[in-house]
Amino acid sequence: MGFADVADPTGRLVAPKVDGDKEEPEGGIVKDLLSFGDVLSPSWVISKGLELAFDFNPVDEAKKLIAGDWEEYAECAKAWKAMGDFCEDLAENIRAGNRALDKSWNGNAADAAYIYFDTLAKDIADMKHSFNELKESYEKTTEAVWNTAEACGDLLQGILDTAAIVGLTALAGASTSFTLFGPVIAVGAVAGEIIAMINMWSKLTTAISELQTMLNGSIGLVTGISSSIEAKAVKFPLPGRAYDSPVA
């Protein structure tokens, strides 16, 4: 006896895709950060300014700290939603088939089969909630990464702008180095800007540190939800053998 499906679960299983222009804040802020400085490499003047404040390149360091394929991570949220919708549709098909079978089959075996498939449908439907929890967790993480990347981008721009001022001031000091006061004036003039750059870098690393703490918590949550899904999947045993009607 066959049953017509009331839903199409497999239709839910499509490749996820994030539209960076519509779904990622600012149309791709993470990509912008990871490509920061590629189009306009720091000039000698900016490099000189950075050298006076840091013994490393803050742009390169920031890229390392927040590197990752976060667009692909965002696509995972869509995949978890699709899995939840798949479970919902599959459960509805099992319920519909179970109701149809119940109308034409009676007896102890029929009652046992009804309970089995009814419980199976409930267990599968419950998985939708777990997959939705995964989806929400991934969405929150993605939003946090995007917000942090935006903040880091603004801070890096501030560092580079300030480095340009420091570099130009240092250049001016060098051009008057034949006097006794040129170098002294230059050092005094850039001291405030150097401190400002260091403070901006401190804010940037603090933002990334807070993001890392959030990511660690998210990993724990995702691990727990994944274990819950696995437990639900294995707790319901398959029938030991196919049903063999004694009157067939």
190-222: pLDDT as tens digits? 788 889 999 999 999 999 999 999 999 999 999
CA distances for 68 relative to 115, 153, 244, angstroms: 47, 16, 55
pLDDT score of 179: 44
Residue 186 and residue 237: Cα distance in Å, rounded?
78
Contact at 8 Å (CB) between 216 and 137?
Answer: no
Rounded to an integer, the average pLDDT of 231-246 is 69
What's the pLDDT band for 172 if we cut at 50, 70, 90?
low
Torsion of CA 71, 72, 78, 83, to 10 degrees: -170
Q: What is the CA radius of gyration of the chain?
A: 30
Q: Distance between CA atoms of 120 and 125, rounded to whole angstroms?
A: 9
pLDDT at 17 over 60: yes
- pLDDT, position 38: 43
Tokens of 4: 């017509």
Confidence class for position 135, pLDDT limits 50, 70, 90: very high
CB-based contacts of 39: which residues, under 8 Å, 6+ apart? none
